[in-house]
């Protein structure tokens, strides 16, 4: 009996076994065995795409532009911004470049922005190529920028065509007007972004535009250096799940930042200290920022050692959470919950946590 004689159901079992561990190489070999296998495996082959090497991005972009039917299968894309932010596209033919240009024209931006974006594509800029790819993935639900530094020759990423910030700004505007076209990124629900270095981190200006996309309901950032001097927008974010991992947000900025999320259900914050940015962590400023979430917050994870600020503001206990009616899970250290200086004098069960926990 040949593989072609097997049912689709049994073939899918084989395909899922081959797919274990995300090994697309073996899956690709399997898809080339027969037309029947190709039909069964192709959707899985393109469902989760991970950019593992510099030259995979230009190759993938050309494949998607040439075969837009394959773009319909892509639900998750993981990418890394390489050190100099530029890729070698010297092997791109005039035909490939024209396909890129035509795709940019189809996004209906100004002639000036169109020219600028295409110029960056010709230079092989990672952001320009990545934004062009995202513009052609109509069903994309999850974007993971596994290594990102917002590197590029951008004077103002919000207005410079070809940058991720520019793409998300335009997409957010389209979504707010009810536009459901592909450039609106209307199916994108989950975004995660991680800084590519070991010190300092991404700023608010790097992540806020990604959060402002109305369709994003789950957001994670690794190494966010949030400064109080940054003028946070008045925009409210739709994310219901927020993970701020190994980050340092200044106390006042942390309060203001969290107040921009009106419907958070799951919140995780890990304070990294001076390695990323701000040394100080005041638990009370975090809780001050979530007082409006008493009706919806379900889980709260807080990691980090409380530290006094340089202006002698003391690190205190988080404060009472008894009014958080839907909170069913709290994960933190006792020193964070009760305060580093034994500020808490009452009964822990009555004061610190909801009665149903």
What pLDDT shows up at residue 63?
92
Q: Where are the alpha helices (DSSP H) in 107-239?
A: 111-122, 126-134, 164-176, 204-211
Ranges under pLDDT 70 in the chain: 1-39, 151-159, 308-312, 340-352
Cβ proximity of 119 and 127 under 8 Å: no
Share the mean pLDDT of the chain.
Answer: 84
pLDDT tens readout for residues 226-246: 998 899 989 999 999 999 999
Rounded Cα–Cα distance for residues 183 and 53 (Å): 26
Reading the block at residue 26, the tokens are 């073996």
What integer pLDDT is reported at residue 13 of this predicted model?
Answer: 66
Q: How far apart are CA 308 and CA 115, in angstroms?
A: 51
Cα distances from 328 to residues 258, 264, 265, 357, in angstroms, run 19, 14, 11, 6
Rounded to 10 degrees, the C-alpha dihedral 252/255/259/263 comes to 160
What are the residue ranges spanned by the domains of the chain? 1-47, 48-351
User: What local confidence, expressed as pLDDT, does residue 165 receive?
Assistant: 93
Q: Read off the pLDDT of residues 312-341 as tens digits, 9 standing for 90 and up.
A: 677 887 888 889 999 999 998 888 877 765
* CA atoms of 164 and 337, how far apart (whole Å): 38
Q: Following DSSP, what letter does each residue of 57-114 receive, concatenated? A: HHHHHHHHHH-HHHHTT--EEEEE--TTSB---TT--HHHHHHHHHHHHHT---HHHH
Residue 108, number of CB atoms within 10 A of its CB: 11
Would you state the pLDDT for residue 12?
64
What are the pLDDT digits (tens) for 70-115? 999 999 999 998 777 788 888 788 999 999 999 999 988 899 999 9
CB neighbours of residue 110 within 10 Å: 9
Residue 199 burial class via C-beta count within 10 angstroms: exposed 0-12, middle 13-18, buried 19 and up: exposed
Backbone torsions φ then ψ of 82, nearest 5 degrees = -80, 165
Q: Are 87 and 124 in contact (CB under 8 A)?
A: yes
Q: Give helix 56-66 / helix 126-134 axis angle, nearest 10°.
A: 30
Exposure string of 139-174, with b = 16+ CB inside 10 Å and e = fewer, is ebebbbbbbbbbbbebeebeebbbbbbbbbbbbbeb
- Whole-number pLDDT of residue 349: 45
In 3D space, the residue among 234, 269, 232, 276 whose CA is nearest the CA of residue 253 turns out to be 232
Q: How much is the pTM?
A: 0.87
Alpha-helix residue ranges (DSSP H) falling in the chain: 8-19, 24-31, 35-47, 56-66, 68-71, 94-106, 111-122, 126-134, 164-176, 204-211, 251-258, 283-288, 334-338, 348-351
Cα 206 to chain centroid, rounded: 11
3-state secondary structure of 243: strand
Name the nearest CA neighbour of 318 among 267, 278, 263, 245.
267
Is residue 264 within 8 Å of 237, Cβ to Cβ?
no
Question: Half-sphere exposure of residue 244, counting CA atoms within 13 Å on the CB side?
Answer: 28
């Amino acid at each position: 009996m040949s593989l072609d004689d097997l049912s689709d159901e049994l073939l899918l079992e084989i395909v899922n076994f081959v797919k274990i561990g995300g090994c697309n190489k073996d899956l690709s070999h399997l898809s080339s065995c027969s037309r029947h296998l190709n039909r069964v495996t192709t959707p899985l082959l393109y469902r989760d795409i991970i950019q593992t090497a510099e030259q995979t991005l230009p190759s993938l972009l050309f494949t998607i532009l040439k075969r837009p039917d394959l773009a319909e299968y892509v639900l998750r894309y993981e990418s890394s911004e390489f050190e100099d932010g530029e890729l070698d596209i010297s092997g791109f033919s005039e035909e490939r470049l024209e396909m890129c240009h035509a795709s940019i024209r189809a996004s209906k931006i100004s002639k000036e922005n169109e020219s600028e974006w295409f110029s960056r594509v010709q230079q092989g800029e990672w952001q320009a190529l990545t934004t062009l790819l995202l513009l052609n993935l109509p069903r994309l639900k999850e974007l993971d920028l596994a290594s990102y530094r917002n590197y590029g020759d951008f004077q103002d990423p919000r207005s410079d065509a070809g940058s991720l910030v520019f793409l998300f700004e335009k997409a957010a505007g389209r979504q707010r007007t009810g536009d459901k076209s592909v450039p609106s990124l209307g199916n994108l629900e989950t975004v995660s972004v991680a800084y590519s270095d070991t010190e300092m981190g991404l700023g608010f200006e790097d992540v806020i535009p990604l959060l402002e996309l109305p369709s994003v309901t789950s957001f994670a950032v690794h190494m966010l250096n949030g400064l109080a001097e940054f003028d946070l927008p008045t925009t409210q974010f739709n994310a219901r799940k927020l993970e701020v991992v190994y980050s340092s947000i200044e106390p006042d900025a942390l309060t203001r930042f969290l107040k921009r999320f009106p419907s958070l259900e799951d919140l995780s914050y890990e304070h990294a200290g001076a390695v990323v940015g701000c040394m100080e962590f005041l638990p009370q400023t975090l809780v001050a920022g979530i007082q409006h979430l008493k009706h919806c917050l379900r889980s709260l994870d807080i990691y980090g050692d409380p530290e006094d600020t340089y202006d002698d503001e003391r690190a205190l206990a988080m404060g009472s959470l008894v009014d958080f009616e839907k909170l069913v899970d709290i994960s933190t250290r006792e020193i964070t919950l009760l305060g580093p200086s034994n500020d808490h004098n009452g009964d822990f069960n009555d004061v610190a946590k909801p009665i149903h926990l």
